[in-house]
């Protein structure tokens, strides 16, 4: 296979590539085919032939749950014990001490450069929006969205805790910022005495402002935690008309079979979109009592079997919630396959990294049909085992039919931000 340094310009035919069948609406797992490229788009007209030797090809990816505002603070604020509470308190202290507009801007820019080099075309980020941080981070997000227009399509969702949001007070200003910047209304949910009333108020604000919603839900292994059920019931009862995304849903995996089945039936009936974050959840959950026995991942197979739109995403990168990660959707795909046993099951799981997040985020669906943008990720791996055996760091990324430089930024670029406060 050639490299991005030698892939020729002009009309091309990528001969003998391997494509997941579900992308081509084929019942086959993998399909060998040719792809023709001209004027930045896929076409039906052959061009200069380039033998690709069976290399796997994907449309550029969609990463629908990230935290660009938190990214890369680990060197200055590591998680002291690897737990969820350790992450929560460490990030809170770092945010109050360090998250100026310049600090957030530079770390966001670094993360976006990584995602772009890896082959991501769209990202939804959650933004910590506890006042006064909302007045800092949302304008920076707007600046980044404009700066990256044409390379990465950016969406944002505010992030506040369910029992701290004042739905008749300061939270209304956060809603104004979300509306002003074309965002998604977000909230972290867990059991609290008036959860249903708070969800009703939240959905009422979202509907009045024409906003989709995106929840962080039940990020714990405690089986008694079941705000997911209340969200689904409330959406059904209110007939909420906009998209509802629920992320994490970890406790679902620890509930008894009947309890979990009832919750998943409600999720399906409510039409919720589920996004699983397997790397972060594997890192944080079931920690602190010796060898972990549970994976943290939600019940993706069982939800998918009920017709629920299931996606996977990166979540955090090099911050107290996840010490690793680089906004690389090939890594997410590889790890999700291993952690969630996506292999030896249905052959259309590729959609969980492409078509499904596009549906959840109301984005242009990925396609390899003639006329679609020639935004492609090409890997040497010729089948799933070859693809997932190595990190595919020598991948080719095409944007508008032209190979981009996939060199990653050096971590040392952020060294001056990592000095003690």
What is the Cα–Cα distance from 402 to 386, expressed in whole angstroms?
A: 25
User: Whose structure tokens read 């949302």?
Assistant: 138
3-state secondary structure at position 371: coil
What is the Cα–Cα distance from 209 to 184, expressed in whole angstroms?
A: 10
Q: Please list the helix, strand and coil fractions of the chain in percent, rounded to the nearest 5, in that order.
A: 40, 20, 40
Alpha-carbon distances, residue 383 vs 19, 55, 346, 363 (angstroms): 9, 8, 16, 28
User: Whose structure tokens read 């990294």?
Assistant: 353
In contact, 304 and 310? CB cutoff 8 Å: yes
In contact, 91 and 150? CB cutoff 8 Å: no
CA angle, 273 then 306 then 347, to 5°: 90
How many other C-beta atoms can be found within 10 angstroms of the C-beta atom of residue 292?
14
User: Active-site residues: which are they?
Assistant: 219
3-state secondary structure at position 298: coil
Closest CA to 420 of 93, 108, 137: 93
Measured between its terminal Cα atoms, the distance across the chain in Å is: 48
Closest CA to 324 of 418, 216, 219, 411: 411
Pairing of strands 120-128, 12-20: unpaired
């Amino acid at each position: 296979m050639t490299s991005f340094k030698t892939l020729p310009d002009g009309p091309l035919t990528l001969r003998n590539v391997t494509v997941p069948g579900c992308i081509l609406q084929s019942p086959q797992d993998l399909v060998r085919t040719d792809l023709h490229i001209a004027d930045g788009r896929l076409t039906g007209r052959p061009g200069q032939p380039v033998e690709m030797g069976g290399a796997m090809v994907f449309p550029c990816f969609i990463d629908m749950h990230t935290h660009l505002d938190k990214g890369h603070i680990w060197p200055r604020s590591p998680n002291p014990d690897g737990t969820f509470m350790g992450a929560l308190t460490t990030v809170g202290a770092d945010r109050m001490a360090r998250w100026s507009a310049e600090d957030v801007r530079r770390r966001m820019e670094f993360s976006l450069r990584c995602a772009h080099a890896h082959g991501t075309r769209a990202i939804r980020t959650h933004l910590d929006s506890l006042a006064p941080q909302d007045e800092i981070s949302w304008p920076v997000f707007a600046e980044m969205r404009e700066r990256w227009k044409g390379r990465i399509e950016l969406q944002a969702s505010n992030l506040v805790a369910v029992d701290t949001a004042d739905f008749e007070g300061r939270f209304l200003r956060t809603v104004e910022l979300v509306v002003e910047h074309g965002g998604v209304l977000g909230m972290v949910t867990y059991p609290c005495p008036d959860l249903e009333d708070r969800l009703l108020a939240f959905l009422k604000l979202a509907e009045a402002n024409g906003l989709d919603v995106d929840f962080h839900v039940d990020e714990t292994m405690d089986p008694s935690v079941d705000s997911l059920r209340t969200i689904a019931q409330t959406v059904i009862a209110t007939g909420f008309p906009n998209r509802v995304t629920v992320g994490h849903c970890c406790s679902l995996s620890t509930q008894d079979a009947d309890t979990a089945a009832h919750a998943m039936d409600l999720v399906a009936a409510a039409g919720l979109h589920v996004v699983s974050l397997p790397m972060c959840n594997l890192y944080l959950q079931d920690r602190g009592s010796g060898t972990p026995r549970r994976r943290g991942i939600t019940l993706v197979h069982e939800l998918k079997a009920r017709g629920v739109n299931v996606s996977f995403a990166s979540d955090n990168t090099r911050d107290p919630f996840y010490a690793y990660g680089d906004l690389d959707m090939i890594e997410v795909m590889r790890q999700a396959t291993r952690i969630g046993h996506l292999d030896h099951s249905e052959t259309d799981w590729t959609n969980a990294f492409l078509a499904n997040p596009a549906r959840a985020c109301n984005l242009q669906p990925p396609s390899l049909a003639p006329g679609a943008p020639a935004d492609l990720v090409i890997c040497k791996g010729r089948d799933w085992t070859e693809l997932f055996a190595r990190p595919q760091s020598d991948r080719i990324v095409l944007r508008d039919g032209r190979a981009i430089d996939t060199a990653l930024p050096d971590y040392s670029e952020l060294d001056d931000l990592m000095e003690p406060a």
